[in-house]
Structure 1
């Protein structure tokens, strides 16, 4: 992170990190298992037989209460439409609530979804107890209620409650909404759009507000809304049974936001990061960012892709098991690195809400490491003395190694293949490299034989660009070799190719007097390229 700030500190307005989306499951511990449900109805409620009608009656009571609650508080309640995002549908009511500066439930949506329930069956063979029934867990499709809330502490949030036992609840929170409420309470000016803060009067106060989101604050607000909107129990039932909720983190996102002073560098920086990430972020590098090592017992995928989401902007993703790192620039306003986890067990972390601080520290370390890796990739500059040194032969002991020419196509092809060598953790043998080179570039054995490859590998190893994997005859690029490979490939793909094409089709004439800024710049570029060619030929 420090290296990233050193590279782009002059372009950055400020940087902050926080939790973004948090999805929490609320389990009703006293009714989570079949034996506890049977004990509840037998010992607490006093029902001798647990039947389908008894379970359905609890569902009907809760559904009637929700309808009455919406009617008494004049809250819209309707079925969710297919193909329409729920957040987009209720957005006008959320804005109306914000303008009125009021808090509470402002909309209720009903949806038929899969959820955990219980089924009651009669034993196949008669038993001594005529009232004995088999109660087992299952998943079925039934009504869920989405309560859209504007909370005075957490801001806009959503509470989804299942209408069937065990009445599992799901809470959808956003860390940016909590920060917004904290800044408003402290009367600190800010500008927030697209779920990000683009300007703030006090950056330290912004970060301090993000760090204040704690399990105690979340639990207090979730308990409050669960008591108001959750299923109802009598005083007798509450006194004889533990009906408190256990909160577990189901999904969590932690983001690091880079707010730039101007918009123009964001897209180019993101574009270059994607190109370098696809080349550099191999399996072992992904594992290093996530703080582990690649081994045979590692389950899940290690992959990098560039995806296009529904908003139209591209997203760079690096997958690790059930989690992934993503980077995107949104509407040319900010650049965001975000870590998303759907299973905290991938990080050897517990899912309980009490462990939120441990999740913050671990995710902060990973996003910081990701930003540092990106800064190392982007910190690649053309060093012509380095190119000149590589072009000269060197002698190590009694062995003389030839120089490496920038324009040698054999070297360019070999470096490009080795740069993508993250699929083999233990490095590549010469035969494997040879097979991939000839298949990738459609070469024959006569045009590029195995002895020619060994000659090129010997040169790269002599110049310190290639290293052996222990005592095995397996090769991989050294850290210096990775930097040189990136330099060579970018020089050819981004500079030599386009400019050579333009020079063959339209070469500026020295006698021509330019009449526009574009022609003047074209003449300067042609002169600079000629100087580069002269330096390389020296």
Structure 2
């Protein structure tokens, strides 16, 4: 007997021991808002610093002072230096792991090590220009240049491992990296909540609700306290006088990961479940489904990447990636026992949010909703079994007590199958669909002309059957819960059962093709014995 295929609904309904949503990796840009234009830069050099002639030589003076300050800081505190090589790109954290572990063993917040690398940064450059009188002038513009950067790898009592990266050239852009799960672990330990760790997450806890409350507390205020605390402790190119004059860093969101971790109570089923999930959701990255998951309207002129990518990982696992513009959702097995869904936002405007750190709460709300919608879509995709009365009511004409007749949606009819297939392409669409949208999809599936009058008739019978409803004050429609089940049931049964079982198709398994040929042979014999040969 074949193994039972575990469905999404079966696993999620009663087989999840822990379900936690939490900010995961947090990567921030730090920039000085009033040093972003050439006029602001000249004002800093002349009006603020008091130099009558804004020369690029001043950039070097400030940069050299910064480098000397970092050297003195490292020497005074016994902080080791690490020079990153070209092969360390993407693996800097592993290089720094021994230093971070050593600092963590002290139990005190501190800089574990300082890394040095050469990287391309967006910095101010100057071009010499001679006036008609022969006087020298400088034109300032921003350009990408390969310059030195300092990585201050930290161990923080509240956030654990983190780093602050500062460019050594004007206007000194910085990056800050930290991890929300590490913060939540330390908060839970301080609150006396028992838990077992998952790699970068939680495997179990004594109090799931209290743990979720802790994760919900992590917001822009807590993160900004961390940022400003370390900016005040580290050697930096700007002085306290510069800070008092407004020349200080503010933060924006460069990359934010919002995760949902669902730990299974029976890990032995995890891999089989996830493989079935992958096979059933290869089309989630199509534009109409990305629109559903991310709750964003996608038009024909919408720029960006919309696709699904299935990646085989080094440990034999599988990762599903749904790409939307600059962002994506990752779904994969975590440590072989938990399903991790991560919405990775590389551009907050992809979800209609501004990038500055105070907008983190709005971004997190939208990303958590995306994590929820992907599960809804997967539930519908695998949980579409219909009870016989529901099937009979839809597949046969009915008359209500008022005498109003609802036409049938007969299973197998080409037009009905095209209609339900087109409805699947609008599954859970947040913006709904119009007569015109649906008619184009149906015509494409039928491969023939499909007139507006036919579309109007089909919309009416869908509405009378309770499969769609009209959105208020609009000409758009959306599927009802029963409509979703009917559309998916009709389409999956037809495409995945009837078509392979009633046709000797090349893509069918050899055993099935052999069985079908045997059945055809016996049916032909019965026809011959019954003298029912086909008419000439």
Residues 392 and 42 of structure 1, relative CA distance in 2, 3 Å threshold:
closer
Name the residue aligned to 1:305.
308
Name the residue aligned to 2:227.
222
Name the residue aligned to 1:202.
207
Name the residue aligned to 1:484.
486
Unaligned regions of 5+ residues in structure 1, if any? 439-444, 508-538
1:141 aligns with 2:146: yes
Out of 90, 95, 111, the position equivalent to 2:96 is 90
1:10 aligns with 2:9: no
Q: What's the offset of the Cα at 1:25?
A: 1.2
For residue 270 of structure 1, give the secondary structure of its aligned residue in structure 2: helix
Contact 1:394 1:403 (8 Å CA) reproduced: no
Contact 1:464 1:480 (8 Å CA) reproduced: no
Name the residue aligned to 2:126.
120
Q: What's the offset of the Cα at 1:268?
A: 4.1
RMSD: 4.4
Q: What's the offset of the Cα at 1:149?
A: 0.9
1:247 aligns with 2:251: yes
Contact 1:308 1:315 (8 Å CA) reproduced: yes
Residues 73-472 of structure 1 correspond to what in structure 2 (within 5 A)?
Answer: 73-82=78-87, 84=89, 85-126=91-132, 132-234=137-239, 237-238=241-242, 241-278=245-282, 283-295=287-299, 299-301=302-304, 303-308=306-311, 311=314, 313-387=317-391, 404=410, 419-420=424-425, 426=434, 427=436, 433=442, 436=445
Name the residue aligned to 1:524.
none
For residue 56 of structure 1, give the secondary structure of its aligned residue in structure 2: helix
For residue 129 of structure 2, give the secondary structure of its aligned residue in structure 1: coil
Residues 81-130 of structure 1, C-alpha deviations (whole Å, 9 max, x = no match): 326521222223333433443432223222222212112233331569x6
For residue 208 of structure 1, give the secondary structure of its aligned residue in structure 2: helix
d(CA) in 2 for partners of 1:191 and 1:266?
19
Contact 1:146 1:158 (8 Å CA) reproduced: yes
The TM-score normalised by the length of structure 2 is 0.75
Residues 356 and 271 of structure 1, relative CA distance in 2, 3 Å threshold:
same
d(CA) in 2 for partners of 1:229 and 1:302?
40
Contact 1:315 1:326 (8 Å CA) reproduced: yes
d(CA) in 2 for partners of 1:204 and 1:36?
49
Contact 2:164 2:176 (8 Å CA) reproduced: yes
d(CA) in 2 for partners of 1:143 and 1:244?
20
Unaligned regions of 5+ residues in structure 2, if any? 1-7, 503-508, 517-536
Name the residue aligned to 1:34.
38
d(CA) in 2 for partners of 1:153 and 1:381?
49
Residues 293 and 410 of structure 1, relative CA distance in 2, 3 Å threshold:
closer
Contact 1:161 1:230 (8 Å CA) reproduced: no
Q: What's the offset of the Cα at 1:437?
A: 5.1
The TM-score normalised by the length of structure 1 is 0.74
d(CA) in 1 for partners of 2:40 and 2:477?
60
d(CA) in 1 for partners of 2:354 and 2:437?
38
Contact 1:20 1:176 (8 Å CA) reproduced: yes
